A and B are shown apart, each in its own frame.
Chain A
């Protein structure tokens, strides 16, 4: 079964679309300015071939195109017909330049995403408290319901705290009690629309700690008031 997945990260989507629009706009501008109008499909082919380049990988995780292999390939193809090359030359460089346009837009994706969806705020991970409920994942989770409005009230100002993973683990393993520190999962928390973030939120036994786990990392927030019904 092939399933179509809606793009959930709209920053990704928007920057890609804008990058392509910029390239198409430049292409149309160059086309208008040409004296001899070449065939459109040939222009498109030239641009696609010149996208091909040799890139150098940089540590932070991006690739810088350095050698315009596609352009050189086309030059070799055209070098006996220099007049034709004059017509297509600027489109070839546009194709190579497109790599830089894509690179620029991809570099702004992350900071833009972080600006719109702050990673440090609980509200990025819990945008909706309408349909939340808890499921006990361990026998030490004896409560069955949470106070939605109390959660809703506390999300905006929730303070982030460090995760002392090793200490938490050792505390439980070395104690005589069979308690799990985070015996619940909060279902129905939805990360902010358009962020493309997927997360699992565990709730601490005291009803105040929230452990947000995403594919990249974990964040821990500690509320002032317990959201477990019957705990206050």
Chain B
């Protein structure tokens, strides 16, 4: 019985240590944004083929996520994303091709989605139109029909002013995604997956003609497996109405 106090004491101490440990690794937020040198090194370690040369910016998209656009040794404008995990900043995604992507930081919250891109302003691209799309469709089953209107919502961004960005989705896109998402099957808010919504883009030069940025012929990419960074489809005039 004498040892009971001792056992309780040790158990309490272990509990306190375990709590501190868990807090430190899982919950404690970052103290500061890492240096450009640290980020450059991190990208090259994760993906040596990236050959990062110059980090353009360190964009804090939320408490635990960073968007780090960089230029590589071959002059290509590239993307990387970072997350604060287990008390360390870690690279979660790299792509030497800086064409637009949609980063779904929290899959269930369209408010957290960010459109990311990095395009060389000398590549003739003056502005880019991003689209939220859904194909027009109809279904007839057992004599009962249903019609699904086409969704095509445009959002224009100017590259010449700023070659990269990690912008939130336009508020009307978020409205539409929230509306369509609530009637998804299985009560799951699979905003992009279930409702057949997808995003597309088209870029233009000074003379308002379609002009694609210079992409590396052999792009290289890295992903940590659980970051959700989706493709934004390159479109041409045939894919659009009006």
A residues with a Cβ closer than 8 A to B are 135-140, 163-166, 168-169, 172-173, 178-183, 185, 187, 198-200, 202, 211, 213-215, 217-218
Contact = CB atoms under 8 A, between A and B. Distances in A.
Contacts of A183: 149
A173 B13 CA distance: 72
Given A187-B179, A198-B183, A166 B151 contact: no
Contact of A187 (B146, B175, B185): B175
Given A137-B151, A139-B242, A215 B175 contact: no
B207 interface: no
Contacts, number: 86
A178 B241 contact: yes
A163 B144 CA distance: 8
18 contacts: A137-B149, A137-B151, A137-B153, A138-B150, A138-B151, A138-B152, A138-B153, A139-B154, A165-B140, A169-B138, A172-B136, A173-B136, A180-B241, A185-B175, A198-B182, A199-B183, A213-B148, A215-B184
Contacts of A138: 149-153, 241
Nearest to B144: A217
Contacts of B144: 163, 217
A164 B146 CA distance: 8
A168 B138 contact: yes
Contacts of B218: none
B239 to A, nearest CB: 12
A185 B176 CA distance: 8
A169 B179 contact: no
Contacts of B241: 138-140, 178-180
A142 to B, nearest CB: 10
Contact of A168 (B147, B153, B175): B147
A215 B185 contact: yes
B193 interface: no
Contacts of B185: 215
B149 A211 contact: yes
B145 A140 contact: no
Contacts of A214: 183
Interface of B: 136-140, 144-154, 172, 175-176, 179-180, 182-185, 241-242
Contacts of A179: 241
Nearest to B153: A137
Given A199-B183, A200-B179, A214-B183, A165 B153 contact: no
A131 to B, nearest CB: 12
Contact of B145 (A139, A165, A198, A199): A165
Most buried by A among B138, B151, B179, B241: B179
A173 B150 CA distance: 11
Contact of B172 (A135, A198, A202, A211): A135
A136 B241 CA distance: 14
A26 to B, nearest CB: 33
B200 to A, nearest CB: 14
Contacts of A173: 136
Contacts of A218: 145-147
B146 A182 contact: no
A97 to B, nearest CB: 32
Give the top 10 A-B pairs by smallest Cβ distance, nearest first. A165-B145, A178-B241, A165-B138, A182-B149, A165-B147, A139-B242, A169-B138, A218-B146, A178-B242, A137-B151
B47 to A, nearest CB: 31
A171 to B, nearest CB: 11
A135 B151 CA distance: 11
Given A137-B152, A140-B241, A163-B145, 19 more contacts: A135-B175, A135-B179, A136-B153, A138-B153, A139-B152, A139-B154, A165-B139, A165-B140, A165-B147, A169-B137, A169-B138, A180-B152, A181-B149, A187-B175, A198-B183, A199-B183, A200-B179, A200-B180, A218-B145
